[in-house]
Amino acid sequence: MGLGQIGPMGLLLIAVVVLVLFGRGKVSSLMGEVGKGITAFKRGVDDGKKEVTDETATAARDVTPSEDKDRV
């Protein structure tokens, strides 16, 4: 039985069991930590994309060979 075969009622049953076992406060704090992790991951991906873009822009800015820079 794969995860795709769990219907809405199955997910609701799992959610109720988790709430009963761990309590509302523990589940709430756990979800808050998951949210912080996702936010940090997205920020890291965005920073990586920005760094690559900045490096590409810097490399593409001046393509004149160094011996031809003094010529007018």
Give pLDDT tens digits for 6-15.
888 998 999 8
Residue 3 burial by Cβ neighbours in a 10 Å radius (0-12, 13-18, 19+): exposed
pLDDT for 1 beyond 70: no
- Given this model, what pLDDT does residue 42 score? 96
pLDDT at 2: 59
How high is the pLDDT of residue 23? Answer: 86
- In tens, the pLDDT along 39-66 reads 999 999 999 999 888 888 777 666 666 6
Q: pTM to 2 decimals?
A: 0.52
